[in-house]
């Protein structure tokens, strides 16, 4: 009996030791998680979501409409990009030849603008603006991309017509490609309006190479920030890209003036607060008379803007927006598609894209890594895709093969830098936004084995949270403080480190044991790998 008691005591002791060890390891993991910090969310995003959460309790929709009942749909970005127009000089791009831009320009005269569309009774302006920029980039190739596909597949917890921010459009196109309009037609047309013709498109599942995030609006002294938008629209002189911008829309007088001096439509808002609408700049005129506007701005000059409210609004769907409009957002977006689809396989964990930022609080440098299991369809790794907060961000990209794994199937641990180094590249992304780095050489990985994509980023502005992540809120979402309950994480996939050295990596999937089960919440770094079969 005494021996049995000893055995039982030994078993109990071992069980206690296992529990204590597990709790110690879990506590250590929590402490490691505390080493990195979360960047503050955009205050406008938090304010907007708080109002919408309260309104939703009363049955109000997430997306706003203009005072005249026109649907808008632009939600403030969770990332605050105000710094872009305050540090605009950082976007000095050595590859751009300094040239004298013309005093006026119109992409329509270069056959670089697709026809005006109508978002109908749906808060989808953000998708229309994004695709208008993208479509203009690849014209004069005839194309028409599907807004319906974006609003159906964005993956967030609100519905297709409940609004969005531009990072959602970037994430969706980067994750899925752009789909031809005639393969997924738009459903939310006004019931009394004509059904638009659907031209054939030679593009489908096209590859997104870059989305340049440029400064816009007014700087801290009230001066218009115009040169970056002009450069993007002008391109090489035969037209570049439409530029997606957000602003506060109010069709009431005196902000908006229509049917004045012919059929033109003019807009100048002196209020910098309110819910937003997204449109696309397709031209400008530095001499546009300030006297045309209902509220006279400090100077001449206006943007030619393509709206998404159909051709029966404004001047056949267009209007002039004063350079001095106070409501224009600080961030504007320029889409760049590759001329062909160079890759046939994408490794990724971030289909919802950039929703929060991470760093270590005392440095503008941080490392991130994703560990993927190689597939036969993607044996040759050729490029990586990621986000940068500021222009002139320096980076190092490394690919490792056969990364060692420890732990069990439920709680694996992978050393992102413990495998065989295949390639190491350094460079600078001259633009904030979504960027692609093509590796200096394609590298082969073994199907079924782990490989890692490791990136060091140093923000040029001193920002201490240079790592873009897809944040996960677990089962506590909604309210609208995170992207989606479908944004799950798994241990052994996404990591962050202050130095990139072995032993310094923190798994972004946090393990939460409960009395009856366990679940994971955490982040995934926004880092993709593009590959081909051979």
**Of the ranges 126-140, 194-208, 227-241, 518-532, which one carries the lowest mean pLDDT score?**
194-208
Which has more pLDDT, 356 or 34? 356
Which has more pLDDT, 289 or 410? 289
- Tokens representing 489 are 């994480």
Report the side by side order of strands in the sheet with 506-507. Answer: 420-429, 393-401, 450-458, 365-373, 494-497, 506-507
Which has more pLDDT, 138 or 203? 138
What does pLDDT average to over the chain?
Answer: 81
Find out whether 335 and 211 touch, Cβ atoms under 8 Å: yes
Q: What is the tally of helices (H) and strands (E) in the chain? A: 7, 26
Torsion, CA 167, CA 171, CA 177, CA 178, rounded to 10: -20
DSSP 8-state assignment for residue 252: S
DSSP 8-state assignment for residue 108: G
What does the alpha-carbon distance between residue 251 and residue 173 come to, in Å, rounded to a whole number? 31
User: Domain limits of the chain?
Assistant: 44-337, 343-532
Alpha-carbon Rg of the chain, whole angstroms?
25
What does the alpha-carbon distance between residue 172 and residue 175 come to, in Å, rounded to a whole number? 5
Confidence class for position 57, pLDDT limits 50, 70, 90: low
CATH of domain 44-337: 3.90.70.10
What does the alpha-carbon distance between residue 293 and residue 77 come to, in Å, rounded to a whole number? 29
Find out whether 511 and 26 touch, Cβ atoms under 8 Å: yes
- DSSP code string of 398-430: EEEES--EES-SSS-EE-TTSSEEEEEEEEEE-
Going along 123-254, which residue ranges are E strands?
208-215, 243-248
Find out whether 343 and 207 touch, Cβ atoms under 8 Å: yes
Helix (H) or strand (E) holding 359: strand 356-359
Nearest in space to 402 (alpha carbons), one of 423, 416, 384, 381: 416
* Length of the chain measured in residues: 534
Work out the widest C-alpha separation in the chain, in whole angstroms. Answer: 105
Q: 343-532 is classed in which CATH architecture?
A: Sandwich (2.60)
pLDDT in tens, 482-510: 455 566 678 889 999 999 999 899 998 86
Nearest in space to 133 (alpha carbons), one of 246, 243, 279, 283: 243
- pLDDT given at position 485: 56
The 10 Å Cβ neighbour count of residue 273 is 10
pLDDT in tens, 155-179: 888 889 989 999 999 999 999 888 8
**Of the ranges 57-66, 194-203, 308-317, 510-519, which one carries the lowest mean pLDDT score?**
510-519
What does the alpha-carbon distance between residue 348 and residue 174 come to, in Å, rounded to a whole number? 10
What does the alpha-carbon distance between residue 128 and residue 308 come to, in Å, rounded to a whole number? 7
Does the pLDDT value for residue 32 go beyond 70? Answer: no
- pTM, two decimal places: 0.87
Does the pLDDT value for residue 256 go beyond 80? Answer: no
What does the alpha-carbon distance between residue 359 and residue 477 come to, in Å, rounded to a whole number? 24
Does the pLDDT value for residue 82 go beyond 70? Answer: yes
Does the pLDDT value for residue 299 go beyond 90? Answer: yes
């Amino acid at each position: 009996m005494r021996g049995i008691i000893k055995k039982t005591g030994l078993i109990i002791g071992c069980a206690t030791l296992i529990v204590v060890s597990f709790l110690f390891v879990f506590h250590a993991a929590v402490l490691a998680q505390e080493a990195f910090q979360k960047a503050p969310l955009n205050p406008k995003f938090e304010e907007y979501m708080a109002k919408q959460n309260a309104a939703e309790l009363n049955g109000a929709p997430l997306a706003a409409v203009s005072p005249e009942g026109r649907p808008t749909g632009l939600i403030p970005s969770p990332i605050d990009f105000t710094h872009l127009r305050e540090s605009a000089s950082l976007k000095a791009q050595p590859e751009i030849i300094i040239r004298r831009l013309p005093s006026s320009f119109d992409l329509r005269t270069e056959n670089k603008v697709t026809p005006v569309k109508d978002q109908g009774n749906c808060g989808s302006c953000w998708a229309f603006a994004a695709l208008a920029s993208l479509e203009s980039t690849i014209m004069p190739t005839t194309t028409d991309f599907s807004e319906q596909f974006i609003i159906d597949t964005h993956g967030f917890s609100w519905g297709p017509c409940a609004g969005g921010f531009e990072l959602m459009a970037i994430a969706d196109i980067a994750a899925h490609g752009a789909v031809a309009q005639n393969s997924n037609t738009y459903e939310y047309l006004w019931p009394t309006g004509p059904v638009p013709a659907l031209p054939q498109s030679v593009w489908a599942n096209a590859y997104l190479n870059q989305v340049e995030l440029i400064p816009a609006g007014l700087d801290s002294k009230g001066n218009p920030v115009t040169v970056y938008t002009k450069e993007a629209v002008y391109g090489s002189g035969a037209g570049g890209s439409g530029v997606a911008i957000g602003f506060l829309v109010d069709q009431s007088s005196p902000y908006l003036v229509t049917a004045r001096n012919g059929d033109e439509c003019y807009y100048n808002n002196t209020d910098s607060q309110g819910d937003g609408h997204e449109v696309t700049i397709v031209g400008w005129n530095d001499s546009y008379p300030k006297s045309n506007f209902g509220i006279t701005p400090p100077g001449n000059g206006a943007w030619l803007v393509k709206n998404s409210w159909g051709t029966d609004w404004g001047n056949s769907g267009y209007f002039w927006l004063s350079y001095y409009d106070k409501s224009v957002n600080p961030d504007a977006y320029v889409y760049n598609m590759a001329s062909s689809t160079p890759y046939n396989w994408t490794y990724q964990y971030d289909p919802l894209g950039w929703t929060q930022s991470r760093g270590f609080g005392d440095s503008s440098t941080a490392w991130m890594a994703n560990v993927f299991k190689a597939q036969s369809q993607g044996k040759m790794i050729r490029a990586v895709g990621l986000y940068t907060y500021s222009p002139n961000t320096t980076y190092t990209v490394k690919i490792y093969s056969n990364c060692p794994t420890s732990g069990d199937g439920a709680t694996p641990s992978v050393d992102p830098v413990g495998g065989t180094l295949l390639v190491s590249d350094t460079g600078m992304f001259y633009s904030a936004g979504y960027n692609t780095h093509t590796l200096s050489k394609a590298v082969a990985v073994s199907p079924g084995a782990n490989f890692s994509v490791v990136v060091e980023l140093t923000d040029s502005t001193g920002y201490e949270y240079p790592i873009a992540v897809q944040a996960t809120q677990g089962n506590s979402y909604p309210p609208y403080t995170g992207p989606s309950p479908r944004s799950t994480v798994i241990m052994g996939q996404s990591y962050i480190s202050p130095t990139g050295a072995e032993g310094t990596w923190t798994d972004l999937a946090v393990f939460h044991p409960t009395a009856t089960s366990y679940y994971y919440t955490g982040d995934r770094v926004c880092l993709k790998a593009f590959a081909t079969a051979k």
